[in-house]
Amino acid sequence: MIYLMLRPAESRDMRFWPAQPPSLRNSIDRYSTETANVVSSLLPFMAADMGLKQPERLLEMFAGQPQAMRVSYYPPCRQAGKVIGLSPHTDACAITLLVHVNDVQGLQIRRDDGKWLTVDPLDGALIVSIGDTFEILSNGRYRSVEHRAMVHPDKERISAAMFHLPCATIRVGPLPELIEGGTNARYKSTGYAEFIERFYSTKLDGRRSNLDYYKI
C-alpha cells in the first residue's frame, strides 16, 4: 500500500512519491486534478438533493479540495476464504472515488440486512462512496458505506482510492440548514482535527468504530 497527500499542493512531500516509472508523478498529478473535478461536479447535485438554499456554503467547505490517495495491492492467497484483505470499515473522508486497476473482484459492501454484496469491477468506471464526514454533514441523508476488501485465491488485485476531504478548519456537524424548522440534529459536532484524530485512534470495526460515537 502507498498513501500520499495530493491536495493542496503544499501538503505534498515528494520524498514519498515513487520516482519510478518516470511517468508516475505526472500521471498522479493529472489523475488528482481530474478526480477533484469529478467531485466538484458532484457536490452541487448533492447540495440540491439535500435541499440546500445556498449550495455554495457546501462548496466552501471543500475549498482547495483536500485530497489523498491510497493504492492497495492484494497478493493472491491460496486460503482466501480464511483471510480478509482489509477489515470492515467506513472512510473518514467525505467522498471516495475508487477505481479497480485490474478486473479482479474484492470490494464488498454491507447491505442493510447485514449481508455482504460483492461489487463487480467495471472497466473505466469510478465507484463513488460516501464517508463518515458527509454522513454527519448531511445529518444522515447520505449514509457512509461500510465496506471491506477480500483476496482472490490465484489472482492479484490492485485498487486506487482517492479520498476527498473538507477543509481542516470546518466543524464536522449537521449543516445548519438541515436542522432548521424543528428538525433534530442526529449527530454531535466536533472540530475536524479532533474528528480525524479519533478516527485513526480507533480500530477498524465497521460503522461502530467511529460514527456511533457522534450519534445523538
Residues 129-150 pLDDT 10s? 999 999 999 999 999 999 999 9
Helix (H) or strand (E) holding 90, with range, is none
For residue 29, the SS3 value is helix
Do you know the residue count of the chain? 216
Confidence of residue 153 (pLDDT cuts 50, 70, 90): very high
Nearest CA to 189 among 181, 204, 179, 203?
179
Beta strand 2-7 with 67-74: parallel, antiparallel or unpaired? antiparallel
Q: Using a CB cutoff of 8 Å and minimum separation of 24, what contacts does 3-8 make?
A: 3/68, 3/69, 3/70, 4/28, 4/68, 4/69, 4/70, 5/67, 5/68, 6/32, 6/67, 6/68, 6/69, 6/162, 7/32, 7/36, 7/64, 7/65, 7/66, 7/67, 8/64, 8/65, 8/66
Homologous superfamily (CATH) of 2-214 is B-lactam Antibiotic, Isopenicillin N Synthase; Chain (2.60.120.330)
**Do residues 188 and 216 make contact, with C-beta atoms less than 8 angstroms apart?**
yes
C-alpha cell at 82: 480464511
Average pLDDT in the 59-70 region? 94
Does residue 207 carry a pLDDT above 90? no
What's the mean pLDDT in 19-39?
Answer: 96
As given in the structure block, the three cell numbers for residue 192 are 475536524
Does pLDDT of 204 surpass 80? no
Instruction: Work out the average pLDDT over 119-127.
Output: 90
Residue among 30, 160, 162, 25 at smallest CA distance from 102: 160
Helix H or strand E segment including 40: helix 24-49
Q: CA-CA distance, 140 to 87, in Å (whole number)?
A: 23
Comparing CA positions, the residue from 71, 57, 72, 66 lying closest to residue 164 is 66
Q: How far apart are CA 128 and CA 142, in angstroms?
A: 12
